[in-house]
Chains A and B, each alone.
Chain A
């Protein structure tokens, strides 16, 4: 049974009104399941138990060092960080927490203004510090990291940082050494399938059990993607293995593969058209495209000489590097396609 909840908000004070008198057969305002079923407290977190038990000690002592959470996407770094601050400060935690995503705000300016501003302000409350959560910190520029390192030192008495990164190697060492590092491991099949089943049951979704296994096989322990796939597949009806694959196919533009094949067949212009479609209609960056190309190259669905896969991967890496150097997306990928056209032609010639 669910009740309609309507709320009104003023600045940072929330007063919630629950109209209990109006019972509804269904909830009309929905969130994505990734958010709806995100564990709110450390107790709700079912996996990563070693990490969770250590963090609970920080909560009990109301004290903690700077933290660095590392691990692949979708294993619960953000969830655990949010649950931690929730447990530290209670429902009202947002007053004590600044949450930022470094891939959207990655420059030194942000560190010098927003982060510094927040770090230097003084807190009132029974926890003697505030927390800054910096997600995808490995996307911060090197100079921003240097600036951050100083802030971490200067304001350690009033502010703790929780940094999150896919790879700790992209975080400069002075920062790593200032943090307690927690390595999150990919979620096990049982964890993911169990969670998906729980959600499906709560949402009243019909499913074939092997469909959930298929989702795990595809996502390899990335809970966010797994839940998103489940929700999308559920929108199509009963969740089956085939509907799962259908959803995944729809979500990932097949144009990338077609583009590769067209270039190999020598149709540069058509391949370039696909590229434009991918970049403009799907909004993918050059970096996204080259990474997806890289995945496709090793897919068994693309027939090519095995040596060639390595050779193309090498060139894809080179293009990736040029993009990092700030080169134009489309020009770089066109160069890549031109290379494929050339390889395709040579190959065709040697075969005949």
Chain B
């Protein structure tokens, strides 16, 4: 054995942590996105990034490397710090106060935001949201599970960037490098075993390598098997589903549902998506959905009553209930799919928002609820907009619709309607003296949705209608 040096006592995981971007391998996509974003700050889509990925793939390290490379001062706050409202606000002040006076840019790293505790870190999430809105400094947040419901507001406020699990090959390559600089004798098989067990978590792989080699200076397959126990890992969705759908006992199914990194709502969506592929027989299919449906009822009751004791029943049904629904013998492996619903919802988010705004507008004009507007008015409006651009444009003007609302209603005829609207508005401006009012009215609809203004607009709109009615009578 070589001489004991001070560096030997530094854990490898710190010793071999990349210091520069050049050392930081893999994750090119995320790396480039993040650098691009920091460089174009503050001209960016959002002033915060949510960097997510499983443990040990290098989220914090990546941020550190980039900060060093770009010469930015890193202001860090992690789960070991209290993150109550006042703590976050203090960080915000430190970061923005006199920022730039020293000629050095800054970046705020809020590590492990999924660890912000609703109770212990009172108001923490809200404070982070406020910080994102007001910050003059880029904010990078990291999290393991981006789907956690608690993170939803942050997810919406930030740009999400994913760090993927490292491939087994990459893990092996890095382990080899460490072996050679530590002069440790490793056999290929042993490294493969370590890499396999690490499931893409480089940190745990390096820790394992270190603990096996310490003392013996040699790493063999046997020593790996003897020394390293399996970590009790949180399963990714695909593994969790596999374990649920293949479970033969209620117990195994429940255990699978218990070890997932998904929250329960998300797990239900995954199961919902994948039941049909797993259950070919209609009897099985129905039994599985019935169980999932019951689980979802329990989840609803939890939300309604706030009683989380019910959660275990929900889990019973969504795991064991679904797993044991399968009675037919037909067994074949089918790949699992990401819940389409989530994808659909993300894709249609903008459209749904426009529809909601439109429903609110109609509701306020026509004295009905938004639900009635969606059900009983929008379908008919849409017929008018798709078939009669002239009538449509007049309604669009009269109801102060925004361009995107017109596009939503008119679909393929949007161009016709929009150009007519422009023309009519021009005519109105030429004929009337109240130029600004018209233009202003439509711009407003686009920009805001607060009730106050809507009420005013509605009120003035009604006046128009009333005046018309009055005039009509007068003239006759």
Instruction: Give a binary string over A1-13; 1 marks a CB under 8 Å from any B CB, 0 the rest.
Output: 1111111110110
- Of B272, B304, B379, most buried by chain A (CB within 10 Å of CB) is B379
Q: Are B300 and A326 in contact (CB under 8 A)?
A: yes
Q: Are A4 and B431 in contact (CB under 8 A)?
A: yes
Decide if B433 is an interface residue (CB 8 Å cutoff). Answer: yes
Q: If the complex has contacts A101-B368, A325-B297, A330-B272, are A338 and B434 also in contact, measured as CB distance less than 8 A?
A: no
**B427 — which chain A residues lie within 8 A by C-beta?**
28
Q: Are B292 and A331 in contact (CB under 8 A)?
A: yes
Q: Nearest Cβ distance between residue A110 and chain B, in whole angstroms?
A: 12
Q: Nearest Cβ distance between residue B401 and chain A, in whole angstroms?
A: 11
B418-471 contacts to A, CB under 8 A, are 424, 427-428, 431-434, 437-438, 456-457, 459-469, 471
Decide if A206 is an interface residue (CB 8 Å cutoff). Answer: no
**A288 — which chain B residues lie within 8 A by C-beta?**
375
- Of B370, B462, B475, most buried by chain A (CB within 10 Å of CB) is B462
Q: Are A3 and B434 in contact (CB under 8 A)?
A: no
Q: If the complex has contacts A5-B464, A35-B465, are A327 and B345 also in contact, measured as CB distance less than 8 A?
A: no
Q: Nearest Cβ distance between residue B396 and chain A, in whole angstroms?
A: 9
A309-352 contacts to B, CB under 8 A, are 319, 322, 325-328, 330-332, 334-335, 338-339, 341-342, 344-345
Decide if B186 is an interface residue (CB 8 Å cutoff). Answer: no
Decide if A150 is an interface residue (CB 8 Å cutoff). Answer: no
Q: Nearest Cβ distance between residue A17 and chain B, in whole angstroms?
A: 6
Q: Which of A18-26, A47-55, A189-197 interfaces with chain B?
A: A18-26
Q: Are B431 and A269 in contact (CB under 8 A)?
A: no
Q: What separation, in Å, do the CA atoms of A224 and B367 have in the docked complex?
A: 11
Q: Nearest Cβ distance between residue A220 and chain B, in whole angstroms?
A: 14
Q: Are B391 and A40 in contact (CB under 8 A)?
A: no
A-B contact sample (12 more), CB < 8 A, given A35-B366, A341-B286: A4-B432, A9-B460, A12-B459, A22-B431, A28-B393, A29-B428, A73-B376, A251-B380, A326-B297, A331-B296, A334-B289, A339-B289
Decide if B348 is an interface residue (CB 8 Å cutoff). Answer: yes
Q: What separation, in Å, do the CA atoms of A330 and B394 have in the docked complex?
A: 38
Q: Nearest Cβ distance between residue B276 and chain A, in whole angstroms?
A: 5
Q: Tell me the total A-B contact number using a CB cutoff of 8 A.
A: 234
Residue in chain A with minimal CB distance to B271? A331
Residue in chain A with minimal CB distance to B279? A338
**A27 — which chain B residues lie within 8 A by C-beta?**
394, 468
Of the candidates B303, B388, B463, B471, the one whose C-beta lies within 8 Å of that of A14 is: B463
Q: Are A30 and B297 in contact (CB under 8 A)?
A: no
7 interchain residue pairs of minimum CB distance: A326-B300, A251-B379, A235-B388, A335-B293, A30-B394, A6-B434, A29-B398
Q: What separation, in Å, do the CA atoms of A330 and B399 have in the docked complex?
A: 34
Q: Nearest Cβ distance between residue B361 and chain A, in whole angstroms?
A: 11
Decide if B268 is an interface residue (CB 8 Å cutoff). Answer: yes
Of the candidates A14, A19, A82, A251, the one whose C-beta lies within 8 Å of that of B459 is: A14
Kindly state the interface size class of chain A when it binds its partner: 35 or more
**A344 — which chain B residues lie within 8 A by C-beta?**
282
Decide if A236 is an interface residue (CB 8 Å cutoff). Answer: yes
**A32 — which chain B residues lie within 8 A by C-beta?**
362, 365-366, 377, 381, 395, 399
Q: Are B375 and A284 in contact (CB under 8 A)?
A: yes
Q: What separation, in Å, do the CA atoms of A27 and B468 have in the docked complex?
A: 10
Q: List 29 A-B contacts (CB under 8 A).
A: A3-B471, A7-B437, A9-B459, A22-B432, A28-B428, A30-B397, A32-B366, A36-B465, A101-B367, A104-B370, A135-B367, A139-B369, A224-B376, A229-B380, A232-B380, A235-B391, A236-B388, A251-B379, A251-B382, A288-B375, A328-B268, A328-B299, A330-B341, A331-B292, A334-B272, A334-B275, A335-B289, A335-B290, A341-B285
Q: Are B437 and A338 in contact (CB under 8 A)?
A: no
Kindly state the interface size class of chain B when it binds its partner: 35 or more
Q: If the complex has contacts A280-B348, A283-B352, are A7 and B395 also in contact, measured as CB distance less than 8 A?
A: no
Q: Are B300 and A327 in contact (CB under 8 A)?
A: yes
Q: Are B465 and A31 in contact (CB under 8 A)?
A: yes
A215-255 contacts to B, CB under 8 A, are 224-225, 228-229, 231-232, 234-236, 247, 250-252
Q: Nearest Cβ distance between residue A250 and chain B, in whole angstroms?
A: 5
**A252 — which chain B residues lie within 8 A by C-beta?**
379
**A29 — which chain B residues lie within 8 A by C-beta?**
394, 397-398, 428, 464
Of the candidates B282, B301, B303, the one whose C-beta lies within 8 Å of that of A341 is: B282
Decide if B259 is an interface residue (CB 8 Å cutoff). Answer: no
**A136 — which chain B residues lie within 8 A by C-beta?**
369
**B299 — which chain A residues lie within 8 A by C-beta?**
326-328
Decide if A46 is an interface residue (CB 8 Å cutoff). Answer: no
Decide if B340 is an interface residue (CB 8 Å cutoff). Answer: yes
Q: What separation, in Å, do the CA atoms of A236 and B468 have in the docked complex?
A: 25
**B352 — which chain A residues lie within 8 A by C-beta?**
280, 283
B341-387 contacts to A, CB under 8 A, are 341, 344-345, 348, 352, 355, 362-363, 365-372, 374-384, 387
Residue in chain B with minimal CB distance to A2? B468
Q: Are A283 and B369 in contact (CB under 8 A)?
A: no
Q: If the complex has contacts A104-B370, A334-B289, are A35 and B431 also in contact, measured as CB distance less than 8 A?
A: no
Decide if A145 is an interface residue (CB 8 Å cutoff). Answer: no
Decide if B283 is an interface residue (CB 8 Å cutoff). Answer: yes
- Of B296, B299, B434, B460, most buried by chain A (CB within 10 Å of CB) is B296
**A40 — which chain B residues lie within 8 A by C-beta?**
466, 469
Decide if B472 is an interface residue (CB 8 Å cutoff). Answer: yes
Of the candidates B344, B362, B469, the one whose C-beta lies within 8 Å of that of A280 is: B344
Q: If the complex has contacts A32-B377, A251-B379, A280-B348, are A24 and B468 also in contact, measured as CB distance less than 8 A?
A: no
Decide if A295 is an interface residue (CB 8 Å cutoff). Answer: no
**B374 — which chain A residues lie within 8 A by C-beta?**
283-284
Q: What separation, in Å, do the CA atoms of A69 and B279 have in the docked complex?
A: 51
Q: What separation, in Å, do the CA atoms of A268 and B275 have in the docked complex?
A: 11
Instruction: Give a binary string over B26-67; 1 marks a CB under 8 Å from any A CB, 0 the rest.
Output: 000000000000000000000000000000000000000000
Decide if A78 is an interface residue (CB 8 Å cutoff). Answer: yes
Q: Are B384 and A232 in contact (CB under 8 A)?
A: yes
Residue in chain B with minimal CB distance to A26? B394
Q: What separation, in Å, do the CA atoms of A328 and B461 have in the docked complex?
A: 39
Q: What separation, in Å, do the CA atoms of A103 and B467 have in the docked complex?
A: 31
Q: Nearest Cβ distance between residue A25 and chain B, in whole angstroms?
A: 11
**A16 — which chain B residues lie within 8 A by C-beta?**
463, 467
Q: Nearest Cβ distance between residue B275 and chain A, in whole angstroms?
A: 8
Q: Nearest Cβ distance between residue B358 and chain A, in whole angstroms?
A: 10
Q: Are A2 and B365 in contact (CB under 8 A)?
A: no
Q: If the complex has contacts A9-B456, A16-B463, are A342 and B286 also in contact, measured as CB distance less than 8 A?
A: yes
Instruction: Give a binary string over A166-202; 1 marks a CB under 8 Å from any B CB, 0 the rest.
Output: 0000000000000000000000000000000000000
Residue in chain A with minimal CB distance to B434? A6
Q: What separation, in Å, do the CA atoms of A330 and B432 have in the docked complex?
A: 51
